[in-house]
Structure 1
Amino acid sequence: MAFYLPPGVDFFPHPFLADNDGLLAVGSEVSLNQILLAYQYGIFPWSNSEDPLLWWFTHPRCVLYPSKIKVSKSMRSYLNGNRFEWSVDRDFAKVISLCRKIDRPGQGDTWITSEIHNIFLELHEMGFAHSVEVWNENEIVGGLYGLSIGKIFYGESMFSLQANASKFALIKLCHFLKEREFDLIDCQQETRHLMSLGAELISAETFMDHLRLNIFKSGKNEDWTL
């Protein structure tokens, strides 16, 4: 049974109290400080705009270790060719806007509410939130964004307007994070798309160990612009 969080609450129940589906709590409010606090414990908001605010701790956890990204033969042609170009943090606002607008069959309304949208714009200005853009002829055709705390990147959403553009973005992100000695990407929820690219499921206990160790990692918010 999910816990109810009244407005103004600045704490969460222990993540291991989440139900079998991963639902931990209902209510409270979405604020910048709440987002930063929640993600440090592997908790994230996800609900349709017309629903009450839902906070989740999915388990087992879908994660991707940057060094384990799988690159298929078909994707190598994209990486070795010149069809796509890529950048980091060149147009965060456009990426999150496209993630919000993209049609996702079977998922109903977007979970990226106006409040979430505005908070992540502010987190980007603070150096916590980052985006990867994929370009084709000076147009953004794919990308992703997420939150960086310590040496964990918390993936939020991705989109693709051309075939394989989101895969290209994720592969480039993994290379980028590997160079910076990041431990993992928190994918939050398992999908066939992510699993085909090398994501794996780990236990809640193992994921929590990563989170505890991450507390001691550098939290410096560097300029990622590329």
Structure 2
Amino acid sequence: MHSSCTPRRVGFALRPALLIGVSLALAACNQTASTQVSLAATAPQRLAAVETRYQALPDERFPVRAIRADELDPKYARQRVRYDTHHPPGTVVVDPDAKFLYLVQEGGYAMRYGVGVGREGFGWSGSATIARKAQWPTWTPPTEMIKRQPELRQYASGMKPGTENPLGARALYLFQNGRDTLYRLHGTNDPSSIGQDVSSGCVRLLNQDVIDLYQRVPAGSKVVVLPHGRRA
């Protein structure tokens, strides 16, 4: 399946994922939410939590490397937080301004993940449905992308799965009204991209996080992306 995700550069090692812009008219959604994170942990404790949650995953089809504490701002580490929202449990809510993805849970909580989102001019907002899930997916650049970046022609029939594949360890494919939007929630092995405006619309999570999210959300789950300027 085609995807709008594209690597930062092409060479021996492909850096994960920039994405082309595609037209997606999604209705804006209302959201009122707040989070509360414990401030009691010391800086060393927060750094230790990063290394605990982002250990290597050697048993994956393609081994996932560990993330060092100095590679990720601790606030973007996966954690359960207080979260007030009208969306029901099981909904995925993305706040592109805060660079957080929330999986709504029971009792006013959510599992929160740090994400990288669309850079200026490539953001999108609205709602969609996870219509398909894939482990270690193949990435195929669209024809329009190949025209702009001829070096990607070698992947016209698909780039094989792997840690350098722009979609990473997992991909959740977003559909609207039964049609593929070309937007994805997907993995990356580049921690420097988390908390940044780096893509052309897709939402990227660390491979460890997208694996965790993949296990928690079934196909058919609703995804809501808040418009810029509306904080969760």
Per the normalisation by structure 1, the TM-score is 0.29
Structure 1 or 2: more helix by fraction:
1
Structure 1 or 2: more strand by fraction:
2
Per the normalisation by structure 2, the TM-score is 0.28
Which structure is higher in RCO with an 8 Å CA cutoff and minimum separation 6? 2
